Amino acid sequence: MQNFRFKNTAEIIFGKDTQKQVGAEVLKYGTKILLHYGSGHIKKSGLYDEVIDSLNAANVDFVELGGVQPNPRLTLVRQGIELIRKEGVDFILSVGGGSVIDSAKAIAVGAVYDGDVWDFYDGSADIEKAIPNGVLLTIPAAGSETSTGSVITDEATKQKRDADSALMIPKFAIMNPELTFSLPSYQTACGAADIMAHVMERYFTNAKNVDFTDRLCEATLKTIIHNAPIALAAPDDYASRAEIMWAGTIAHNNLLDTGREGDWSSHMIEHELSAMNDVAHGAGLAIIFPAYLKYVYKHDLNRLVQFAVRVWNVDQSFGNPEQTALEGIARMETFFKSIGLPTNLKEINITEEAFDYMVKNCKRTNGDALGYFVKLYAQDIKNILKLAL
């Protein structure tokens, strides 16, 4: 186990009707807020009205900025920053999923920075201050409701980049699983894949003696694998929606990588997919993760066997660990297909011609290379993309 620091200060307010508490929670931190949200869905569902009523009841003043799109855009972030400066806002409330929260986090750090907010995302500046933010979560997937990270796309250059700081952690995350009943099946499935990927990016590590966090990771993966099909078959099933929502938060609040080093190369490769054609992040991950594991599994066969046996209930072939490992990867791919996700690039119309651009554009996390479990250089990334064809 590696030395680590862990602290996550977000308050979770979880359960039925909890959205009604949003005004009272906001009031603990601010009196004039930016209400940030996405498409008109929250207006159709009535959630928008509930939020406004709760803010009014708490005498919280607000300005609003909707229109956040999946793979949230830098242009809107810049609009939010201007709005905040003009209006003297002291708190940002996101109502939505990961894209809205990530956009809010970018606004929160950009508004109190003299330079351009993209500096934090291209790595040329460190985050030192932020306006506090809070979340009313409607889509369990990104884990952004308690995470330290934010991912923004510069639509002009098609670059999708992340920034990270404890200052971005939301003060609170209000989570009512009932709000997820109306999610389309595809989005539910994408969320499941995203949550699983957050765990797997941490699970595949070179750190040794990480028994406890391995088991916590496995517990989280099994929860999603068990509950996602139930929620897809019965969208109004509170129990499975609640399990997915809570597991989605824990998957990405940094508990699961205490004492170990994550990899994140599949996420970085996926960012190129969604920057290229706006595929949903979870769907892109369902394509990349099986290909990635097929490419690297020999690097730590024991770990892949453990993954197959403990997570996918593969009947272990003790004399043939490779077979066991490959069966685990195959079951993961079958699972993604079974919940309606694409598992190859053809399904999202990306062909080999795009690979050179994607490889070139892919942000490296480890010097020239990508990832830590196995260092991936340009040719490796290309080989993984080929396995995903």
CB of 268 to its own copies, least distance (A): 27
Question: 240 is written with which tokens?
Answer: 């499975």
98 residue type, one letter:
G
Where does this chain touch its own copies (CB under 8 A) — which range of 5-13, 45-53, 98-106, 368-376? 5-13
- Closer to its own copies by CB, 176 or 365: give it: 176
- By CB under 8 A, residue 206 contacts its own copies: no
CB of 133 to its own copies, least distance (A): 16
Q: How many CB atoms lie within 10 A of CB 337?
A: 14
Where does this chain touch its own copies (CB under 8 A) — which range of 48-56, 152-160, 178-186, 214-222? 214-222
Type and span of the H or E element at 149: strand 149-154
- By CB under 8 A, residue 242 contacts its own copies: yes
3-state secondary structure of 272: helix
CB of 222 to its own copies, least distance (A): 6
Q: Which of 71, 147, 187, 227 binds its own copies (CB under 8 A)?
A: 227
Residues within window 256-295 making contact with its own copies, judged by CB under 8 A: 258-259
CB 316, CB 309: distance < 8 Å: yes
- Closer to its own copies by CB, 233 or 239: give it: 239
3-state secondary structure of 61: strand
Where does this chain touch its own copies (CB under 8 A) — which range of 103-111, 216-224, 272-280, 293-301? 216-224
Dist CA 337 CA 374 (whole Å):
26
- By CB under 8 A, residue 13 contacts its own copies: yes
One-character DSSP codes across 220-238: HHHHHHHHHHHHHH-TT-H
Helix axes 281-296, 378-387, angle to 10 degrees: 110
Backbone conformation region of residue 254, classed left if phi is above 0, alpha if psi is from -120 to 50, else beta: left
Dist CA 269 CA 278 (whole Å):
14
Number of residues that bind its own copies (CB under 8 A): 43
CB of 92 to its own copies, least distance (A): 19
Residues within window 27-66 making contact with its own copies, judged by CB under 8 A: none
CB of 46 to its own copies, least distance (A): 20
Q: Which of 159, 165, 223, 265 binds its own copies (CB under 8 A)?
A: 223
Q: Which of 24, 239, 301, 389 binds its own copies (CB under 8 A)?
A: 239
Dist CA 221 CA 204 (whole Å):
13
Dist CA 56 CA 354 (whole Å):
50
CB of 57 to its own copies, least distance (A): 20
Dist CA 28 CA 30 (whole Å):
6
List contacts with its own copies (CB under 8 A): 1-18, 177, 208-209, 211-213, 215-216, 218-220, 222-223, 226-227, 238-239, 242-243, 246-247, 250, 255, 258-259
